[in-house]
Amino acid sequence: RKEVEQDPGPFNVPEGATVAFNCTYSNSASQSFFWYRQDCRKEPKLLMSVYSSGNEDGRFTAQLNRASQYISLLIRDSKLSDSATYLCVVNIGGYQKVTFGTGTKLQVIP
């Protein structure tokens, strides 16, 4: 089993739709979690950290489920500019062992 798994997509959604991505991780010792956004051939950029209590930033909501070992990202009212690949990142801490998922591609359609 991969350490971090994501559905590669693509997810093709119309503007204004709500879309959710999940990411599962295998190491129960994982301590911190992030979502990154990557536009084609560019560097990944931090979208948001994921906290145990869940967190929201505008149209974006991130959740963590430690019992089932997954994190999720919900995007409401999708915009064309949300089209990108979303990377799930898991850190088991200590020695800064960070693992990236392969990403989920989102295409928002007019």
CA–CA separation, 58 and 68 (whole Å): 26
Is residue 25 at the binding interface for other proteins, with CB under 8 A as the rule?
A: no
For residues 43 and 110, which CB has a smaller minimum distance to other proteins in the complex?
43
Token reading at 73: 């990202």
Is residue 1 at the binding interface for other proteins, with CB under 8 A as the rule?
A: no
Is residue 60 at the binding interface for other proteins, with CB under 8 A as the rule?
A: no
Token reading at 79: 């915009």
The sign one gets for the Cα dihedral 4, 9, 13, 15 is positive
Is residue 103 at the binding interface for other proteins, with CB under 8 A as the rule?
A: yes
- At its nearest, how many Å lie between other proteins and the CB of residue 42? 7
